[in-house]
Amino acid sequence: KQGFTMESLNTLLKRNWDPVLSSINQQKLKKLPDNPLLLLISNAPSSSLNPMALKRNKFWQHQLSGMGKVIHIAPVSNTSSMSIASYVENMITTTRSKILEVKGHFPGRPLILIGWHIGALVATHVALMEFVQGVVCLGFPTMGIYGNR
């Protein structure tokens, strides 16, 4: 009779289990036409993300960097005690100011906003206020601060 310890179980769980992941990592993504700027909007304060989410975000940022210049947009103020509504407003303001800054530094380059969950909500909202060439929403939330959408 063999017994498993928590340590051996944790070691097993830390291994990559996705059979497709290794083939995805080997493929080099092509650059997008017109060399766009990919503005990656944070989906939550980095302090509230679990280690798996941080690893996933890093992976996506690395993958997207093969397609264009990635600019990560993170909240500027202390978000640990903010409500979700305040966080979203903070991210909208931060994203709009980053767009204006980027347009000044890289005039004529297309801008694409990319967001996950709350970041997708921020991306669509900002796209209504600022001119961007594209919006990519992954995991768009169906429930907002005022209930179902």
- Structural domain contains residue 128: yes
Q: Are 3 and 40 in contact (CB under 8 A)?
A: no
3-state SS class at 96? helix
Closest CA to 99 of 60, 141, 128, 65: 128
Overall domain count for the chain? 1
Residue 23 lies in a domain: no
Closest CA to 96 of 117, 78, 110, 113: 113
Flag whether 132 is in a domain: yes
What pLDDT is stored for residue 79 in this prediction? 60
Give per-residue pLDDT as tens, 2-28: 556 777 777 767 776 666 566 655 666
Quickly state the pLDDT bin for 74 (edges 50, 70, 90).
confident
Q: Domain residues for 129?
A: 33-148
The answer to whether residue 78 is domain-embedded is yes
Segment holding 70, helix H or strand E: strand 69-73
pTM above 0.85, yes or no: no
90 contacts 126 by C-beta, under 8 angstroms: no
Q: Confirm whether 51 is domain-assigned.
A: yes
CA proximity to 88, closest of 115, 61, 50, 49:
115
Instruction: Give me the CATH number covering residue 83.
Output: 3.40.50.1820
Q: pLDDT tens digits for 96-149?
A: 999 999 999 999 999 999 998 888 989 999 999 999 999 999 887 777 667 776
In a domain, 70, yes or no: yes
Is position 4 within any domain? no
